[in-house]
Chains A and B, each alone.
Chain A
Amino acid sequence: MKSSRFASLGGWLVTLPLTIFGLLLVTFLIGRVMPIDPVIAIVGDRAPVDVYERVRLELGLDRPLYEQFWRYCVAIFHGDFGRSVMTSRPVLQDIGRFFPATLELATLATILGVAFGVPMGVFAAVRQDSWADYVIRVLGLIGHSVPVFVLGLIGLVVFYAKLNWVAGSGRINVAFDDIVDPITGSLLIDAAIQGEWEVFRNAVSHIVLPAGVLAYFSLAYIARMTRAFMLEQLRQEYVTTARVKGMSERRVIWRHAFSNISVPLITVIALSYANLLEGSVLTETIFAWPGLGQYLTVSLLNADMNAVLGATLVVGAVYLGLNLLSDLLYRIFDPRAR
């Protein structure tokens, strides 16, 4: 058992640096083949030739590509992601500000998505072909096929503009700006820690709708997958045997069938979470949510390559982290994987 664990750890230690290196190389090359001049992103369209040339040299764009890549890697390993053109601040500092906003939104959306999606999927499977199953399947289909920005706009019009149940776009109202000191970067947690309950309530009113929209998107996927996994399990002989033995239906479903889908479900949830964490660009745009997705998109459109590379690395690291986490959870829930 021990040697197997070490082998697994060793595998990770080999693949992790290779994956990170691949990520660095690909993002760097994408940045260099983009048909946008990064110097213009900094000096603008009107800059005189001498200003343009000076900045080009400062960026090291006159050097060979392999040298630029080497210098970039060295800087990254020294924790220097460079400075963003857009914000004039170190990229790491920017990521520290934008990523928690995305993390807060994605985490809440995933919690809601799992809390509603899993029971809905199980219920639909248990009541296959009933009207409840059809309703859940249609809801899942809508959530999965309607573009998230359309759901966002509909949500804003209905729940914000018409019903006045939630606040509009942004993370917080202007009146509450700068009241809470950033500690974790999550406005909800920071406001709670500092006992600023008015700010907390306002932040909740702002996050409810975008998180709800993303949760619906996530729920649709999770419910559909849960239903499919459960249907497969409910057809198995061990379920029939359990029922024949007189076991209660609740125990058959949750204790036996559901336990067996927990492993693939972890992958589904992890993937869904990772998708949300990479920044839901459209949702963040519609709701003016200052998250990583919006940061990455605006940086890309402005050829702000330091920011693009930094944010891409973070997204990649998140994927790797969640991959590792789901591997670990596999080992806990599935004895065969140990």
Chain B
Amino acid sequence: MIRRRTLLSTLLAAPAVWSVRDAFAQTPRDTIVMAAQIDDIISLDPHESFEYKGNETTTNIYEKLLTTPNASPQRIVGELAESWSATPDGLTHTFVLKTGRKFASGNAITAQDAEYSLRRAVTMNKTPAFILTQFGLNAANANEKIRATDARTLVITIGEPVSPSFFYYCLTANVGAIVDRAVVEANKQGNDWGNAWLKTNSAGSGPYVLRTWRASENVTLEANPNYPTPVRNRRVVTRHVPEPASQLLLLQRGDADIARNLGPDQLRGVMTDANFKVQRARKGSIAYFCMNQRHAELAKPQVREALKWAVDYESIQRNIVSTTYDVHQAFLPTGFLGVLEDKPYRFDPNKAKQLLAQAGLPNGFAVTLDHNNSAPWSDIAQAIQANFAQAGVRLTLLPGEQRQIITKMRARQHELLMGRWGADYMDPHTNAEAFAFNPDNGDNARSKTLAWRCSWFPAMTDAVNAAARERDQERRAQMYIEMQREHQRSSPFVPMLQEIEVAARRANVGELDIGPTNDRIYYASTAKA
């Protein structure tokens, strides 16, 4: 009886299994399939998108007036602009556009499109608009300050003189994307500047056009036939695969060509396998912890310094994030103008104890650390807890969801908090402002930088402003180096690691072009052999 039934069910099940076995299709030859976590995308309008994957996607769809090549990220080159110049007072900037360029729609790219795009970004005033509005541009003066004087010439007048490179670096951010005015206007609803439509559609001139975006499912890009340089693949599909183990299986089976979020253990396995290649590139993202200066003990300079000596940076990097982070102890990431590569701090619990004793805490003290509850942050937090214990600091860990931590930090309710900060644009001012600028430490301050969130009222706020205004590039770089040295010494921030973007790919698939920020990751160069 049992045998008969077992046999029967096996016979019934077998055809089902074998019938599905033939149904697989390897990824098409002209299509690159990426497995990645893409559920952070909330809009693909370049003047609104500000999330990691949203930025990465839109940078492959749109072009800006200027950009920075990944091979030399500090150099500014023209993307749609052929030439650009500034008046001696540094207020008026003129851009002359390249000739013969077209949008994906076939429409010619004109200065009027550039004028429309930048006015749109400033007037809509979505999250990334601050990158442009910090130059005194706003909805009220956009028409006056951003003008196309003919089909090829765009003139922008900014509010106060700053380093030209600061302004130009900001124009290389996605918020400086040039959209096809005719297409966007044809799809606008009321006064929305076409925002509702452009969230899920595209009107650009970059290597790709957006075919579909299904939130938390996939993004499909197709090659733009009007792009001047031939794109090496016809289509790029990014599938949302939240689980790294599933990404690895897809890569191994050939159902994905590139996996973007493999963990350290998975990467180690892939690195030793000839069937795969791993690409690594430094990202403009810093992992740090900070000390809230409202906490009586943390406000003592000796305590701040003690905690910097109480972390085993090398061990954390080597044992927890060997493939995805490098040790880095300054607020500017490698790749940025004026970066400081010095690493003055190492694990020295005795020195930390001495400093705590000088601060009147010979028996240490107790403090809490808020941190993200996902990998690798939980592991790093536990390592810091163990390191601190050797210096006499009793650390209580408070794991939480990322936005919960941000909410707490913005309310300045944390004691120690571990976070990750990615550069908003390619200029050093982005991180200098975040980590070292706080002109108003009051609760209702308009500028809630990281320094403000840690209740730190830094003396170097003026230095941040001065560096942003410095017109000599070498002098400017030197100012940031000096600023970081002082920051390393006296600030309540402890930069620990710099993130590495890692992409594991099948051996027959070409490299991505990866730069230091998410809006510098390009797909057009990769193809299957």
Interface residues of A (CB under 8 A from B): 34-37, 40-51, 54, 84-89, 94, 97, 132, 153, 156-157, 160-161, 164-170, 173-178, 198, 201-202, 204-205, 208, 285-288, 290, 294-295, 298, 301-303
Bound: A272/B224 CA distance, A: 49
Instruction: Give the CA-CA distance A286 to B241 in the complex, in Å.
Output: 8
Residue contacts A-B, CB under 8 angstroms, 12 given:
A42-B42, A48-B447, A50-B125, A156-B249, A161-B253, A168-B250, A170-B239, A170-B241, A175-B31, A204-B19, A290-B214, A294-B216
A37 lies within 8 A of B50 (CB): no
Tell which of A54, A153, A178, A295 touches B216, judged by Cβ atoms closer than 8 Å.
A295
Q: A156-B246, A290-B217 are in contact. Are A46 and B130 (CB under 8 A)?
A: yes
Q: A45-B410, A46-B130 are in contact. List 9 more A-B contacts (CB 8 A).
A: A36-B407, A37-B406, A40-B410, A46-B50, A46-B424, A161-B249, A166-B17, A174-B25, A295-B216
- Give how many A-B residue pairs fall within 8 Å (CB-CB): 171
Instruction: Identify which of A36, A50, A94 contacts B401 (C-beta below 8 A).
Output: A36
**How far does the alpha carbon of A43 sit from the alpha carbon of B124 in the complex, in Å?**
13
Q: In the bound complex, how far is the Cα of B17 from the Cα of A331, in angstroms?
A: 40
Does chain A have a CB within 8 A of B2?
yes
CA distance A94 to B196 in the complex (A): 16
Residue of A161, A286, A288 near B252 (CB, 8 A) is: A161
- Selected from A36, A84, A86, A165, the residue in CB contact (under 8 A) with B403 is A36
> Chain A residues near B218 (CB, 8 Å)?
174, 177
CA distance A42 to B50 in the complex (A): 10
Complex: chain B residue closest to A203, CB-CB: B23
* Candidates A49, A174, A205; contact of B31 at CB < 8 Å: A174
What size tier do the contact residues of chain B reach?
A: 35 or more
Contact of B42 among A86, A156, A173, A198 (CB under 8 A): A86
Shortest beta-carbon distance from A73 to chain B in Å: 26
Question: CB of B16 within 8 A of chain A?
Answer: yes
Q: Which residues of B contact A44 (CB under 8 A)?
A: 50-51, 127
**In the complex, are the beta carbons of B16 and A51 less than 8 A apart?**
no
Query: Could you tell me the distance between the alpha carbons of A8 and B17 in the complex, rounded to whole angstroms?
Result: 47
Q: How far is the CB of A29 from chain B (nearest CB, A)?
A: 17
Q: Are A51 and B126 in contact (CB under 8 A)?
A: yes
Residue of A nearest to B25 (CB): A175
| List of B residues within 8 angstroms of A173 by Cβ | 24-25, 255
Question: In the complex, what's the smallest C-beta–C-beta distance from A298 to chain B, in angstroms?
Answer: 5
Nearest-neighbour CB distance to chain B for A104, whole angstroms, equals 15
B130→A169 contact, CB < 8 A: no
Query: Considering the complex, which residues of chain B in the window 106-147 have a beta carbon less than 8 Å from any beta carbon of chain A?
Result: 125-130, 133
Among the listed A88, A160, A287, A290, which residue makes an inter-chain contact with B43, where contact means beta carbons less than 8 Å apart?
A88
A47, A54, A87, A175: the one contacting B130 at CB < 8 Å is A47
- A97 to B, closest residue via Cβ: B214
On whether the beta carbons of B249 and A168 are closer than 8 Å, the reply is yes
- From A34, A87, A198, A290, name the one whose CB has the most chain B CB atoms within 10 angstroms: A87
Contact yes or no, A88 B241, CB < 8 A: no
**Shortest CB distance A278–B (Å):** 17
Q: A46-B130, A161-B252, A303-B403 are in contact. Are A86 and B216 (CB under 8 A)?
A: yes
Nearest CB in chain A: distance from B497 CB, A: 19
Q: Are A166 and B241 closer than 8 Å at their CB atoms?
A: no
B234 near A: Cβ within 8 Å?
Answer: no
Q: In the complex, A132→B5 CA distance in Å? A: 13
Which residues does chain A contribute within 8 Å of B243, judged by CB atoms? 169, 285-286, 288
The 9 closest A-B pairs by CB, nearest first: A205-B20, A87-B215, A201-B23, A205-B23, A37-B407, A175-B25, A88-B199, A288-B241, A290-B217
CA distance A301 to B410 in the complex (A): 18
How far, in Å, is B204 (CB) from chain A's closest CB? 18
Q: Which residues of chain A come closer than 8 Å to B447, judged between CB atoms? A: 48-49
Q: Are A165 and B212 neighbours in the complex by a CB distance under 8 Å? A: no
**Cβ-defined contact, B246 with A201, below 8 A:** no
Residue B414 is within 8 A (CB to CB) of chain A in the complex: no
The reply to whether the CB of B39 lies closer than 8 angstroms to some CB of chain A is yes
